[in-house]
Amino acid sequence: MSAIESLCLSEGYTEVRLPPTPLKGDSFLNASLFLFGFIVPDKDVRWALIAQFVNSMKQERWKPIHYETSMQAKYLSSDSSHRANFTKYRNESQIRQLCRALQNLGMYGQMGQLFEETSQPLPEGVGLDFVRTSRVCLGTGPDGTTGCPEALYQVRMFVNGEYSARAGFNVHSENGQRVMSITNIQGTPGKSELYDDLQQRLGASPFNFLVRRCVEMAQHAVEPLIVRGLKNPKNMGSRPLYNAVFKKEGVTRVSFKK
């Protein structure tokens, strides 16, 4: 078994063969060119990734910004992966990142359902939503949200219709189990009084509340997901918040490695 085939199997790609070339549609051929820069041979295990790319695009209706976010996202694992300057996916680390990003994109419907199934009454004026990240650059959008290149999925909190805080996460497969990586916890400047009020009304800080909801989603799945929290966010000033929240919520903290 080749190193790439072994890698794909460890990342959850058990179907690694597709029909011969005459039966493949143009979407598969185009995806092969887009991802790898050439048409991969018929017996190449990378057809499994190409199939995931094509099928998840149709089923989950993701857009280019979602693909870019998923490729930039952080997946917490002892087996490191990264995109490597937007090159084609040819070495093991890049292909592992692609494996994870494609699985992440394909989880939108399931995670949305888990969000709905774990809904609970909230204090007056407080609301939560579940979205895919649609902004990765610096700055603030019209709705008050900022870019989130670390995570494809967000559980966001609004107070009286105004954005207040979020927890962002990704999902990948590892050795037969799905893993939720919570890689972003963020509020908005100048809202310390609001957060104090929310702590009283929610019974927990808004950050703990959001992470707890993510954990509940993971645990509610038919096959519960392993939950890991980012131990070393890029912003050093955020580390005390991340570590305090994850410690209190019983989430295993894992350092991100490239």
Average pLDDT over residues 141-168: 88
Angle between helices 46-60 and 108-117 (to 10 degrees): 50
* Cα-based angle 120, 145, 97 (whole degrees, multiple of 5): 85
Give every CB contact of residue 135 below 8 A, 6+ residues apart in sequence.
Answer: 65, 141, 145, 146, 147, 148
- Pairwise CA distance, residues 109 & 170, whole Å: 13
How would residue 5 be classed by pLDDT, with cut points 50, 70 and 90?
confident
pLDDT of amino acid 7: 83
Indicate whether 188 pLDDT > 90.
Answer: no
Average pLDDT over residues 246-250: 97
Q: How far does CA 206 lie from the centroid of its chain?
A: 20
Task: Identify the architecture of domain 108-254 in CATH.
Answer: 3-Layer(aba) Sandwich (3.40)
> pLDDT tens digits for 93-127?
888 999 999 999 999 999 999 999 999 999 999 99
Q: Which of 89-98, 153-162, 201-210 has the lowest mean pLDDT?
A: 89-98
Provide the residue ranges of all domains of the chain, joining segments of one domain with +. Answer: 3-105, 108-254
pLDDT of amino acid 213: 98
**Which of 120, 129, 77, 122 minimizes the C-alpha distance to 100?**
77
Mean pLDDT value across the chain: 88
- Pairwise CA distance, residues 154 & 71, whole Å: 16
- Pairwise CA distance, residues 89 & 157, whole Å: 36
